[in-house]
Amino acid sequence: MLIRLGYDLQFYIPQSVPVVALLSVRPSRERDLREPDLLQVEPSVEIQQYFDCFGNRCSRLLAPPGEIRLYNNFLIEDSGQPDEQPAEAAEIPVDQLPAEVLQYLLASRYCEVDLLSNVAAELFGHLEPGWGRVIAVCNWVHMKVTFGYGFARPTKTALDVYVERVGVCRDFQHLAIAFCRALNIPARYATGYLGDIGIPPPGDEMDFSAWFEVYLGGRWWTTDARHNRPRIGRVLMAVGRDAADVALTTSFGRMPLKKFFVVSDEVKSE
């Protein structure tokens, strides 16, 4: 299937400010592009691209004072298949994990693995290792945490979510990630497009979304504690230890948001 992706982000900038944007699709999905995925900026400014330490494509620019618009619109091809469910995927002993995966077992800004280790052991330590234990983590978080946009705050951590039992999509993923890491299952935060393809109306308000990936059986697998069901049409943009590593825009100065619009729609064949 073909999916139309895009965004329109508008800001007001009191003073010139450096900006880093993670708005490109992950390099692993670039082969699926059917139209160029090119960040466009009004007014026009120079854009420098680079790859960060997690392999994400980043765009760097100096935003001038006044109103600025970051936007894009393009097509990507997708299999149309739901997220894979690797029932036989096994956990890998820590001493046998690739060196680059080890960082996804450690505590990070929003995932206090050390503070949640005892809880994770009590809730999930008795379960058979592997994909089934990951699903048990997702089921628990999905059932115990209530979703609501009004519950969002930028400082909320996995421990806060465990105590408060409310949050937005990133909070669900942070708690699940912390639990998985505490169980010695490498887990990393993921962000990208997730439209309502295959979901009965009315669906959710269009937005970028967060999910997470676990390393089992020698590769990364997608899972999602917020929606807690296989979905169609995920398009990965960036991965990191948690949300701090994959902010859509990072400004080194004030940059108040004026407009936020995202599209992720299946293109129906005629």
Question: Residues 175-211: pLDDT tens digits?
Answer: 999 999 999 999 999 999 999 998 887 666 667 999 9
> Do 102 and 52 reside in the same domain of the chain?
no
Q: Quick check: 210 and 169 in contact, CB under 8 A?
A: yes
Closest by Cα among 35, 29, 31 to 56: 29
> Do 66 and 182 reside in the same domain of the chain?
no
> Do 112 and 53 reside in the same domain of the chain?
no
Residue 218: per-residue pLDDT: 96
Number of domains into which the chain is organized = 2
Residue 199: per-residue pLDDT: 86
> Do 145 and 215 reside in the same domain of the chain?
yes
> Do 101 and 215 reside in the same domain of the chain?
yes
- Residue-averaged pLDDT of the chain: 95
> Do 187 and 124 reside in the same domain of the chain?
yes
> Do 164 and 132 reside in the same domain of the chain?
yes
Tell me the C-alpha distance between 188 and 210, whole Å: 11
Which segments of the chain have a pLDDT < 70? Answer: 202-206, 269-270
> Do 55 and 189 reside in the same domain of the chain?
no
Residue 84 placed within a domain: no
Residue 206: per-residue pLDDT: 66
Range of the domain at 117: 94-244
Closest by Cα among 152, 162, 138 to 225: 138
Residue 109 placed within a domain: yes
> Do 54 and 99 reside in the same domain of the chain?
no
> Do 32 and 130 reside in the same domain of the chain?
no
> Do 62 and 195 reside in the same domain of the chain?
no
